[in-house]
Amino acid sequence: MSGTEYPKEILESLEDYNIDIRDFMPGHGKGAKLLLNFNKISGLEQVDGVILKGREIENGIVADIIIMEGTKIEEPVHLCFGVNKETGVQEIFPRIIAEDNTEVTVQAHCSFPKANGLIHKMFGHFYIGKNCNFTYSETHYHGENSGAFVAPVAYMYVGENSVFENNFNLTRGTPGKVKIMIDIYAMKNSVIKSNIRAFGKSKKDSVRIRDSVFLEGENARSIIKMKAAARDGGEVLMYGITEGNAPNCNGHVECNEIVLGKGSICRARPFIRAIDPTSSVSHEASLGRFPQKWLDELLAKGLTEEEATQVLIEAMLQEE
Amino acid sequence: MKDLTIPTIDQKCVIVNKVSFKVKEGSIHAVIGPNGSGKSTLAYAIMGLENYKPSEGKIYFDGIDITNMNITERAKLGITLAWQEPARIDGLSIPKYISLGVKDKINLKDRIIEALKIVNLDPERYMNRTIDESLSGGERKRVELAAVIAMRPRLIILDEPDSGLDFIVIEDFLNIFGKIKELNMTILLITHREDIGMVADHGTLIWRGDALLTDEFPKVMLRYCAKAGLKEFCKRKLFNGEGACFDEDYIDRIFREEQGL
């Protein structure tokens, strides 16, 4: 399948993120790929060391993505879940397994440029083995109508001595109604980095994200960074949860949210718990507006307050 | 500015009291005085910051009364300020930051690279970095200078550019001020250090909120020393030996005058 057979609207929808999905189409790039066009698999390409299987079901797919033991690949595995319709239901049931001693990045692009009553659900299981270096990045675009309902749930197990980075970005377009739940279980000596960014732009936008890390193994470490902005009546609620349940584990939750315009709401609910006396868990949160000094510095360069605020929001929500 | 008076936010005290002086286009004009004399307050008032509005007096720029203009309007006229402790903002790249005030976006990259070179930052090392905590104090100040140079403003207010810097960096900064002047930009230099001020063509001495003297900088500095009773310092560090501006008798006379003798 050539890239041009995939809906043009989806291919072009992530340009604001500086992502060109065409770079990941079958026939382009070297990585493994799985493309879903609404409820149909429209592209599947495997590479050595990566097994990709997908089976269509009534409203979507069940998929297995397996990184075989010892596989270290530079090209990311690409998953594209697009819907170029206003309404409908898309359900994804992925099972992602990274066997021991693997190094891989999985990039998922979820784009619904015409969403106006569209439902996208995901129920994912991740198993990361021992001594892995695994990055999972999910970038969303839900169109400009605040018309999507998106509800991903993911359970993630991270094995001993592994580094797991989770990135979620929903900063372009309008989110609509979004409910995300992520549970990450960290084993001995593992390192978890979770970065969540979201931007609610109208009173029809409601984003609720619960990102939980359970430090279950000795010396496990984690940091959750949640950054959000809400404007013109948008609402963002972020739960950052970390439990230190093992000796010498160390976790931190950081939440920064900016509120712009009347009726907008940002809420942060960090929940931290330590049940081992040698563990350490902390949190910090800031909500409200940008410091006036930051704004003044940009105004002194000739920007209006609105332009300065936009620059600061983009900086805050920038991928690291 | 003419008879500029700036009160505290609660309006109970006066920080700057009926200050008047002119800054000559294309010059470096130092505002010097001890800590707490009102120098930075003056800088913020000229830039138009919200909490530094004058209760009396006027600020003119190129003959236009800008007293009631906001920061953005003043910046668009060609006034900008390089901050004493510029903010560090995660995610804001150095090239993006430098480009913010550039009106003409044609050849933007060249303009950014040129500005970085003027402040002695290697573009190859800094084009991919952000203005976050990873920059040292000196690096962040250089990026701030690069951002204002790229704007090509007509007046740059430099608020205590030397604070927190070691003497080697300060020497380098003095050279950068010279380069800025060569680009026909006027500098209003806020400082309390004599070695920084010596690059200035003219100066104004601010003392407890009052502007005591506006003149050639050496004369202003001499008066500052006399006011502070620093005769030996004055003779030893400023006006002795090669390049001395005044003979010893003249210095003695100024000190006697200041003491009312």
Would you tell me which residues 30-89 of chain B have a C-beta closer than 8 angstroms to some C-beta of chain A? Answer: 47, 49-50, 70-72, 74-76, 80-81, 83, 86-87, 89
Quick check: is A243 in a domain? yes
Quick check: is A76 in a domain? yes
Whether pLDDT at B221 is above 90 = no
User: Whole-prediction pTM value?
Assistant: 0.82
Query: Residue B87: its chain A contacts at CB < 8 A?
Result: 291, 293-294, 297
Are the CB atoms for A24 and A80 separated by under 8 Å? Answer: yes
Q: Are residues A206 and A317 in the same domain?
A: no
Q: Are residues A148 and A252 in the same domain?
A: yes
Q: Are residues A168 and A253 in the same domain?
A: yes
A312 and B CB contact within 8 Å: yes
Domains detected in chain B: 2-78+153-258 (3.40.50.300), 89-152 (no CATH)
- B191-212 pLDDT tens trace: 988 778 888 999 999 999 999 9
- B2-42 pLDDT tens trace: 999 999 988 889 999 999 999 999 999 999 998 889 999 99
> Residue A319: its pLDDT value, please?
64
Q: Are residues A229 and A155 in the same domain?
A: yes
> Residue B244: its pLDDT value, please?
62
Say how far residue B183 (Cα) sits from the centre of its chain. Answer: 16
B174 and A CB contact within 8 Å: no
> Residue A320: its pLDDT value, please?
63
d(CA A314, CA B192): 37
> Residue A19: its pLDDT value, please?
82
Containing domain of residue A310, as a range?
293-320
Q: Are residues A173 and A317 in the same domain?
A: no
Share of chain B above pLDDT 70, in %: 97
A291 and B CB contact within 8 Å: yes
Q: Are residues A259 and A319 in the same domain?
A: no
Distance between A308 CA and the closest CA of chain B, angstroms: 9
Are the CB atoms for A217 and A190 separated by under 8 Å? Answer: yes
Q: Are residues A79 and A206 in the same domain?
A: yes
Quick check: is A83 in a domain? yes
Residues in chain B: 261
Q: Are residues A309 and A260 in the same domain?
A: no
Q: Are residues A311 and A287 in the same domain?
A: no
> Residue B260: its pLDDT value, please?
77
ipTM: 0.92
- A163-189 pLDDT tens trace: 999 999 999 999 999 999 999 999 999
The count of domains in chain A is: 2
- In eight-state DSSP terms, residue A5 is G
B90 and A CB contact within 8 Å: yes
Q: Are residues A150 and A287 in the same domain?
A: yes
Query: Residue B95: its chain A contacts at CB < 8 A?
Result: none
Residue spans of chain A under pLDDT 50: 1-4
The helix/strand/coil state of A20 is: coil
Q: Are residues A114 and A262 in the same domain?
A: yes
Residue written as tokens 């109604």?
Answer: A177
> Residue A2: its pLDDT value, please?
44
> Residue B261: its pLDDT value, please?
65
Q: Could B71 and A300 be called an inter-chain contact, meaning their C-beta atoms sit closer than 8 Å?
A: yes
Query: Residue B80: its chain A contacts at CB < 8 A?
Result: 300-302
Quick check: is A10 in a domain? no
> Residue B105: its pLDDT value, please?
84
Nearest CA in chain A to B73: A302
Going across the sheet that includes A280-288, the strands are A40-45, A33-37, A77-82, A103-111, A133-141, A163-170, A191-200, A221-231, A250-260, A280-288
Whether pLDDT at B242 is above 60 = no
DSSP letters, A127-183, are: EE-TT-EEEEEEEEE--SSSEEEEEEEEEEEE-TT-EEEEEEEE-SS---EEEEEEE
Q: What is the CA radius of gyration of chain B?
A: 19
Nearest CA in chain B to A304: B72
- B124-183 pLDDT tens trace: 999 999 998 899 988 999 999 999 999 999 999 999 988 877 777 788 888 899 999 999
d(CA A35, CA A54): 10
Quick check: is A2 in a domain? no
User: Burial code of A59-72, b = ≥16 C-beta within 10 A, e = fewer?
Assistant: ebbebebbbeeebe
Distance between B260 CA and the closest CA of chain A, angstroms: 44
Query: Residue B98: its chain A contacts at CB < 8 A?
Result: none
A57 and B CB contact within 8 Å: no
Q: Are residues A256 and A311 in the same domain?
A: no
Whether pLDDT at B62 is above 80 = yes
B242 and A CB contact within 8 Å: no
Distance between A289 CA and the closest CA of chain B, angstroms: 14
Q: What are the E-state strand segments in chain A? A: 33-37, 40-45, 50-57, 60-67, 77-82, 88-98, 103-111, 116-128, 133-141, 147-158, 163-170, 177-186, 191-200, 206-215, 221-231, 235-244, 250-260, 265-274, 280-288
A228 and B CB contact within 8 Å: no
